[in-house]
Structure 1
Amino acid sequence: MPKPRRSNDWGFPRWRGYGSAREATTVRLCDRHGCDEPGDCPAPKAPNSPDRWYFCQKHAAEYNSKWDYFEGLDKAEKEARAKSERAENAGYAEAQHYGWTGSGDGSRSADEMRALELLGLEADADFVAVKKAWREKAKEVHPDVKPGDEDAARQFQSFSVAYEVLKQAEERREWRG
């Protein structure tokens, strides 16, 4: 009677490399019709459903671009869900100043971007350009230049607020870095 041979997969160390089994491995293909790529990116078929599509990376990106996280919610529910999402992710905003980016590429807040737009500046404008633009705009609508003009006074106020937002942001950047 021949002596049974042991597999090389027993014990430690393994005598054969991981993943070098002799049997064929099953590869799930992308669920997109006509795609022969491996489907290794799961995507939900419906909200709150355990069923998943399995796409290749290209088709998963295409599927997710059309995904509406807030579909079926009314306006108040959308706002509440968006607020809770922001609250849960607030810790990431604290680390914003550690980024590798410069101005104009995502490092400015929405308030700063609105202030730059109000002053007629590009997103990558430095503080010298901000100061110059604010002075030019303020000279046009200053209450001393146009006394009694309420529209000019409102514009001057909005330019001043925009300048203060950008000034405080610049001071924060200098303080941090």
Structure 2
Amino acid sequence: MARTSRSYDWGFPRWRPYGEQGREAANVRLCDRQGCEEPGTCPAPKAPNSPERWYFCEKHAAEYNRGWNYFEGLSEEEAKQREANERRDASGFADSAHYGWAGPGDGTRSRDEMRALDILELDSDADFDAVRASWRRLAKENHPDKRPDDAEAAKRFHAIQAAYDVLKSVEERRQWKPG
């Protein structure tokens, strides 16, 4: 069955008539921050697990989120478990880490790597040669054979070893190219 009338606007809405859309004022919700006149387009919970929401402008939503503690109310063990679960679920993003798109010290190192660098007394942009040199120096200073009765030195030695293992595995992953 053929159409009785043909539209010549070719899908361009500006060529269509205004139709029944009135010229009434649109309701705009303002930002809930005192004294702000911007539209409140970003909902934020008033309390954890509450259906009630504040509505902020983008600037005040960023200010609100800056103070938000995602792990509030969780024990340290529960917080670590949740973080581990979320890291596991986001593992697809880690697949591109071996390409080394950016240099060291610019946000490409993980929290564990940064802790390991702190233990080895290095800056965040240290290369692996500096890691190896620092590891050797600190391991010699704190080795249990050199300080047999010092329990603190033994703890530091184990921490230094663990830090080196973390950074060594990261370096091996960066060296590995998928084939």
TM-score normalised to structure 1 length:
0.70
Cα 1:140–1:86 shift into 2, 3 Å: closer
Cα 1:15–1:92 shift into 2, 3 Å: closer
| Runs (5+) with no aligned partner, structure 1 | 1-10
Cα 1:78–1:27 shift into 2, 3 Å: same
| Structure 1 outlier segments of 4+, above 6 Å | none
**SS in structure 2 of the partner of residue 49 of structure 1:** coil
Q: Name the counterpart of 1:45.
A: 46
Q: Name the counterpart of 1:13.
A: 11
Q: Deviations over 1:76-108 (max 9, x none)?
A: 655554454444434333444456432223322
Cα 1:147–1:40 shift into 2, 3 Å: closer
RCO higher in 1 or 2 (8 Å CA, sep ≥ 6)? Answer: 2
Residue correspondences, number = 166
Q: Name the counterpart of 2:69.
A: 68
Q: Name the counterpart of 2:122.
A: 121
C-alpha RMSD over aligned residues: 3.4
**Quick check: 2:31–2:57 contact (8 Å CA) kept in 1?**
yes
Report deviation, 1:28.
2.3
CA distance, structure 2, for counterparts of residue 58 and residue 106 of structure 1: 24
**SS in structure 2 of the partner of residue 43 of structure 1:** strand
**Quick check: 2:100–2:174 contact (8 Å CA) kept in 1?**
no
**Quick check: 2:98–2:175 contact (8 Å CA) kept in 1?**
no
Work out the percentage of aligned pairs sharing the same amino acid: 57
Cα 1:17–1:62 shift into 2, 3 Å: farther
Q: Name the counterpart of 2:137.
A: 136
